[in-house]
């Protein structure tokens, strides 16, 4: 049975509801309960670890029996395990829901499998509706579940001829105000922002996310990688969050520690050396290349060695979108292939 228009509208609304929930160990999930004729009966979302999941939150707003024969539209496959809360698949079955439409499969080795449980109980299930939009909402959580590390976005700005700076090292500003505003919006969506000590010492960035002259309510934790110390008078010292400093060049170790701290998404914009290190290690889940219509020449390349000895070993990307930003152009891309998922999971995270 194909997804109908009422269910599509409900999924769009469920995605809006999902974004109301906090980022953390649990995914942001939204749910809408529809009557048999497509009317909205209830809405819900996950309010944080230990609270009812989105489906149960929505069901709790209905009188007993009111969901019988209804359709539940959910952004993530209903869970199938008991942690701090019970299985959402069972809650839907017991409520008498006749149909479930969801966007993304739950990748959890323990929490997944809700769709099969629903089908076994005679519930009609449809998967994949607006999956791409749902993925964007919880890409950090999905990467943490599948790979055991934060989701990594690598960003750089470059001239049309692939330079990050002029021959004298000056780089402010290659791109225009629209592109810079876009960067700040994307910073605000990340849990952490990462630079190397080279960029820190050369540019003294604040590493805040700003809307004009005002700080966004959500600020990424500033992270500095490298063996040189952060100066006492550095602008980063005035950031709302205390900076995390890693005296290492091992980006795997940095991501592992950030993962242990609950960081699910990082925004890497630390210059050519750091960007290239993440790319060389295959740790970029998303690439943002801001391209300005200027020519700089010289040797200040936007990327350095990323471990590509021949064209056969090129790091292939899929372009998700070309986004005009004033006079500049943003290429949003992801690697063609990704790492294998991790095989172990902690019980009760969803």
What are the beta bridge partners of residue 198?
Answer: none
Q: What is the DSSP string of 214-262?
A: EEPSS-PEEEEESSSPPPTT-GGGGSSSPPEEE--S-HHHHHHHHHHTT
Residue 348 Ramachandran class (φ > 0 left, ψ -120 to 50 alpha, else beta): left
Nearest Cα to 190, choosing from 238, 164, 155, 156? 155
Catalytic residue among 7, 43, 55, 129: 55
Helix (H) / strand (E) containing 33: strand 30-34
Distance CA 41, CA 54 (A): 14
Does the annotation count 55 as an active-site position? Answer: yes
Which spans in the chain are helix H?
5-18, 54-59, 88-95, 114-120, 131-137, 139-147, 177-188, 197-203, 251-260, 272-280
Longest dimension (CA), the chain: 72
Nearest Cα to 125, choosing from 145, 108, 106, 146? 106
Active site residues: 55
């Amino acid at each position: 049975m194909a997804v109908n228009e009422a269910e599509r509208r409900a999924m769009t609304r469920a995605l809006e509801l999902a974004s109301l929930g906090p980022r953390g160990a649990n995914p942001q999930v939204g749910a809408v309960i529809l009557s048999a004729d497509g009317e909205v009966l209830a809405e819900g979302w996950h309010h944080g670890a230990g609270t009812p999941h989105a489906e149960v939150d929505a069901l709790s707003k209905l009188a007993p029996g009111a969901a019988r024969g209804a359709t539940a539209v959910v952004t993530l496959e209903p869970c199938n395990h008991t942690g701090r809360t019970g299985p959402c698949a069972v809650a839907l079955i017991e409520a008498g829901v006749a149909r479930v439409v969801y966007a993304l499969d739950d990748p959890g080795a323990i929490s997944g499998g809700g769709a099969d449980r629903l089908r076994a109980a005679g519930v009609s299930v449809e998967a994949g509706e607006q999956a791409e939009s749902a993925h964007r909402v919880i890409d950090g959580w999905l990467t943490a579940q599948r790979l055991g590390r934060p989701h990594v976005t690598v960003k750089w700005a470059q001239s049309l001829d692939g330079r990050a700076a002029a021959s004298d090292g000056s780089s402010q500003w290659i791109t225009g105000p629209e592109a810079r505003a876009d960067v700040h919006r994307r910073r605000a969506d990340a849990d952490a922002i990462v630079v190397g000590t080279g960029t820190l010492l050369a540019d003294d960035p604040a590493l805040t996310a700003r809307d004009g002259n005002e700080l966004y309510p959500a600020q990424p934790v500033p992270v500095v990688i490298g063996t040189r110390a952060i100066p006492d008078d550095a602008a980063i010292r005035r950031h709302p969050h205390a900076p995390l400093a890693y005296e290492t060049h091992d980006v795997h170790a940095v991501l592992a520690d950030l993962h242990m701290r609950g960081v699910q998404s990082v925004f890497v914009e630390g210059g050519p050396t750091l960007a290239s290190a993440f790319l060389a290690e295959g740790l970029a889940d998303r690439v943002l290349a801001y391209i300005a219509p200027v020519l700089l020449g010289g040797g200040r390349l936007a990327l350095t060695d990323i471990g590509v000895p021949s064209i056969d070993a090129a790091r292939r990307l899929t372009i998700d979108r070309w986004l005009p930003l004033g006079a500049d152009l943003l290429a949003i891309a992801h690697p063609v292939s990704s790492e294998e998922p991790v095989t172990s999971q902690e019980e009760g995270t969803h």
